[in-house]
C-alpha cells in the first residue's frame, strides 16, 4: 500500500491540488516519522510542529479561496541550521549559538515559503558548516540511515538524512566545498550545487569568497529541479547572479527534455596530490562512464595538468577566512570544537596580503580551468575518495589540524567546482556489495543547470533509484 512518504514531492503537491491529501495530513504524517525515526539518525536540531501545522492550516485556507496557487503548496521540507529562520532557533551547529533566534529569514527561506512549502524544522549541520561530516555539540552526529554506525556526510548531513529516511520529501542544503554533494552521495539521494549566483545569499551572506550557495536535496531529479525553481533568483544588491532562464522556462521542464548527444569528460585530477580512490569509488566512476556511453554520449578523459600547485594552499587559506567573521565572543572561543578553533585561528593570523593573493589565485585558476574544459558539455568525477567513514573517524584524536587533513583527503574533488562556480550534481548510481550508496558527480558548464538536469534525468530513467530505501522506510503509525 502506498504511503504518503512514498510519494515524491511533486506527487504530494499534485495530491494536495487534487484534494487527495491535505497539507495538514502531510505535515502530521512527516512529523510522526521524525518523531519515530530521528532519535537514531540525528537529522534534526529543532523540530517546529506548531509553526508547521499553522502553515498547513493557512495552505488549506488558500486552497479554499481558489485562484492561482504556488507550485509546491502544502509540501513539507526542512531548512538547514546554517540558515536564518525568523523566530526559530538557529544554532549554526555550535553550542556558542545554541540559544540564538534570528529576527529575519534568509532569502532562500522566504523563497521556499512563497513556493508553498512548509518547513518542519532545522536540520543538523557541523559547527559553522566547516567539515565534510556532520557532528556537533548541540545535537550530536547525523548518521547514515543505510548504516547508522557511519557518518552521514556534511555539512548538509541532516538534510540528506531527512530526505533519505523519508522524514521530508526534499530539503534545503548549502554547499561551499561539497556540502550538498557529499551527503547526497553517502545517503543515496540527489544533491544539486547550483551555479554561483543562481540562488541569493541575502540578506546577510556577503559572498566574500564566492564559494557557498544553497541548493536542493531530493529523492528524484524532477523534485530537485522543482525545488531549484523555487529557490532561484537574485535579490537586489547581490554580489553575483547567474543569468535567468528564458521567459516561461523552468528547471523542471529541463528535467523532462532530452539532453541530446553530449561530450563528457572523465575528470580525475584533484588539487590534493597523491589522492588514491578506494576500489568501490573507482568502480562507481568507471560504471558511470560506461552508463553514459551506453546512452549515446561521447566520453573521454580530460587531460591532466589543469590544477597547479597554488590551488590547494590558496583554497585552504580562503576556507579559513570565514572564521574571522564567526560571531563568537572572545570568552567563549574555548567552547568551539577543535576544527573550528584551528580554522578560526588560521584565518585571524592571516595577513590581508595573503588573503587577497589567495582569492586572486583562485579566481585566475577558475578562469584558466573553465577555458581549458570549455569543449566539454559535462564533466564526470568522483564525489568522495572513500566509502562512508565511521562516527568519530575524522575527530577521534581531538586535533583540529589532523581533522582538517582527513577532511581534505576524503573530499578531494568537490571543492574545485565551488572555486569555478559551476553547477554540479551527485547522483546515486552505484551501490556497494554491502548495500551502501556511492554517488557520481556530474559538472555542467557555468550557469548551465539545464543541460545538467536533462542529463541527470536521462541517467535516472536508465537506472532508477527512487525505490531503494534504507531500513525504517516502511514505518507507519
> Could you list the active site residues?
80, 155, 179
pLDDT value for 102? 98
pLDDT value for 325? 86
pLDDT value for 477? 77
Mean of pLDDT values over 305-315: 96
pLDDT value for 66? 83
Residue-wise pLDDT for 387-402, tens only, equals: 999 999 999 999 999 9
Q: Is the per-residue pLDDT at 207 higher than 90? A: no
Domains detected in the chain: 4-462 (3.90.1300.10)
Residue-wise pLDDT for 366-386, tens only, equals: 999 999 999 999 999 999 999
**Could you tell me the three cell numbers for 322?**
570565514
Give the phi and the psi of residue 454 in degrees, each rounded to 5: -60, -45
Mean of pLDDT values over 8-24: 98
Identify the band that residue 322 occupies on the pLDDT scale cut at 50, 70 and 90: confident
Identify the band that residue 153 occupies on the pLDDT scale cut at 50, 70 and 90: very high
Residue-wise pLDDT for 237-279, tens only, equals: 999 999 999 999 999 999 999 999 999 999 999 999 999 999 9
pLDDT value for 208? 83
Q: Which residues of 438-459 are buried (b: 16+ CB within 10 A; e: fewer)?
A: bbbbbbbbbbbbbbbbbbbbbb
Mean of pLDDT values over 226-239: 96
Cα distances from 414 to residues 28, 34, 180, 211, in angstroms, run 36, 30, 10, 11
Helix, coil or strand: residue 280:
helix
Any idea which residue has 561530516 for its cell?
A: 133
Mean of pLDDT values over 76-98: 98
Beta carbons within 8 Å of 26's beta carbon, 6+ residues apart: 4, 12, 16, 56, 74, 75, 76, 118
pLDDT value for 476? 82
Q: Which residues of 324-336 are buried (b: 16+ CB within 10 A; e: fewer)?
A: eebebeeeeeebb
- Mean model confidence pLDDT for the chain: 97
Identify the band that residue 323 occupies on the pLDDT scale cut at 50, 70 and 90: confident
Are residues 339 and 362 in contact, defined by beta-carbon separation less than 8 angstroms? no
Identify the band that residue 414 occupies on the pLDDT scale cut at 50, 70 and 90: very high
Of the chain, the percentage scoring pLDDT greater than 70 comes to: 100
d(CA 308, CA 296) in angstroms, rounded, equals 33
Amino acid at each position: 500500500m502506498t504511503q504518503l512518504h512514498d510519494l515524491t514531492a511533486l506527487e504530494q503537491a499534485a495530491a494536495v491540488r487534487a484534494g487527495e491529501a491535505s497539507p495538514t495530513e502531510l505535515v502530521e504524517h512527516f512529523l510522526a516519522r521524525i518523531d519515530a525515526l530521528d532519535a537514531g539518525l540525528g537529522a534534526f536540531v529543532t523540530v517546529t510542529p506548531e509553526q508547521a501545522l499553522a502553515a498547513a492550516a493557512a495552505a488549506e485556507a488558500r486552497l479554499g479561496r481558489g485562484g492561482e496557487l504556488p507550485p509546491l503548496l502544502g509540501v513539507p521540507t526542512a531548512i538547514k541550521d546554517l540558515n536564518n529562520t525568523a523566530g526559530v532557533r538557529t544554532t549554526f551547529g555550535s553550542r556558542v549559538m545554541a540559544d540564538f533566534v534570528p529576527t529575519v529569514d534568509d532569502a532562500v527561506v522566504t523563497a521556499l515559503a512563497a513556493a508553498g512549502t512548509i518547513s518542519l524544522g532545522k536540520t543538523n549541520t557541523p559547527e559553522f558548516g566547516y567539515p565534510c561530516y556532520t557532528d556537533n555539540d548541540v545535537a550530536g552526529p547525523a548518521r547514515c540511515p543505510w548504516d547508522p554506525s557511519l557518518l552521514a556526510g556534511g555539512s548538509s548531513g541532516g538534510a540528506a538524512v531527512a530526505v533519505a529516511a523519508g522524514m521530508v520529501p526534499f530539503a534545503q542544503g548549502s554547499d561551499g566545498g561539497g556540502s550538498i554533494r557529499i551527503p547526497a552521495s553517502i545517503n543515496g539521494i540527489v544533491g544539486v550545487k547550483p551555479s554561483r549566483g543562481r540562488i541569493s545569499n541575502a540578506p546577510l551572506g556577503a559572498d566574500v569568497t564566492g564559494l557557498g550557495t544553497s541548493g536542493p536535496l531530493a529523492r528524484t531529479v524532477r523534485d530537485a529541479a522543482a525545488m531549484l525553481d523555487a529557490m532561484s533568483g537574485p535579490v537586489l544588491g547581490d554580489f553575483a547572479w547567474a543569468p535567468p532562464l528564458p521567459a516561461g522556462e523552468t528547471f523542471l521542464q529541463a528535467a523532462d527534455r532530452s539532453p541530446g548527444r553530449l561530450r563528457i569528460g572523465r575528470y580525475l585530477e584533484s588539487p590534493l596530490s597523491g589522492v588514491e580512490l578506494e576500489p568501490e569509488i573507482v568502480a562507481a566512476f568507471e560504471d558511470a562512464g560506461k552508463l553514459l556511453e551506453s546512452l549515446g554520449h561521447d566520453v573521454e578523459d580530460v587531460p591532466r595538468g589543469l590544477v597547479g600547485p597554488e590551488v590547494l594552499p590558496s583554497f585552504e587559506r580562503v576556507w579559513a577566512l570565514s572564521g574571522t567573521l564567526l560571531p563568537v565572543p572572545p570568552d567563549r572561543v574555548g567552547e568551539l570544537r577543535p576544527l573550528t578553533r584551528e580554522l578560526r585561528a588560521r584565518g585571524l593570523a592571516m595577513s590581508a596580503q595573503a588573503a587577497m593573493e589567495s582569492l586572486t589565485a583562485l579566481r585566475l585558476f577558475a578562469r584558466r580551468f573553465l577555458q581549458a574544459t570549455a569543449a566539454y558539455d559535462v564533466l564526470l568525477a568522483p564525489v568522495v575518495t572513500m566509502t562512508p567513514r565511521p562516527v568519530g573517524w575524522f575527530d577521534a584524536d581531538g586535533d583540529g589540524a589532523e581533522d582538517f587533513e582527513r577532511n581534505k583527503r576524503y573530499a578531494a574533488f568537490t571543492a574545485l567546482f565551488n572555486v569555478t562556480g559551476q553547477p554540479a550534481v551527485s547522483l546515486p548510481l552505484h551501490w556497494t556489495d554491502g548495500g551502501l550508496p556511492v554517488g557520481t558527480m556530474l559538472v555542467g558548464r557555468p550557469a548551465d543547470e539545464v543541460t545538467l538536469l536533462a542529463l541527470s534525468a536521462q541517467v535516472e530513467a536508465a537506472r532508477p533509484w527512487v525505490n531503494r530505501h534504507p531500513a525504517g522506510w516502511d514505518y507507519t503509525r
